[in-house]
Amino acid sequence: MDNTLIHDAINAVSSKLFDKEKQIKLAFACILANGHLLIEDKPGLGKTTLANAMSQVLGLNFRRIQFTSDMLPSDVLGVSIFQPHNSDFRFFKGPIFTQLLLADELNRGHTSHSKCFA
């Protein structure tokens, strides 16, 4: 990717999210390195806006998962549903089948009474 294209993309995202240039540059570096990004911040400070703006600027499909303690694997992966008219199963893709995924509030994805044993 050309430096001019990168700067243009950063500027385009910066126009939607103010005073976050450092975070935007780090997010682009992460995407260019084919990596994953963990953003921890207070509610309402632009995490979803950042992910959505980046997907728009880069022309990527974007999905968001809101984690809750009652989530099932099918809520993320999708589900196969029986189709009686042709006696077959049809797979409905979950939100993980996208190019840019925001997994929001991962800390809610477990119950307070669950325990992990090694």
Distance CA 17, CA 53 (A): 8
Segment 57-71, tens digit of pLDDT: 999 999 999 989 899
Is residue 55 within 8 Å of 33, Cβ to Cβ?
A: no
**DSSP codes, 103-118:** EE-GGGSS-TT-----
Segment 100-113, tens digit of pLDDT: 999 988 876 655 54
Distance CA 29, CA 6 (A): 10
Tokens at 4, concatenated: 């001019």
Closest CA to 63 of 37, 104, 35, 101: 101
pTM for the full predicted model: 0.76
Is residue 44 within 8 Å of 75, Cβ to Cβ?
A: no
Segment 11-59, tens digit of pLDDT: 999 999 888 999 999 999 999 898 888 888 888 889 999 999 999 999 9
**What SS3 state is found at 38?**
coil
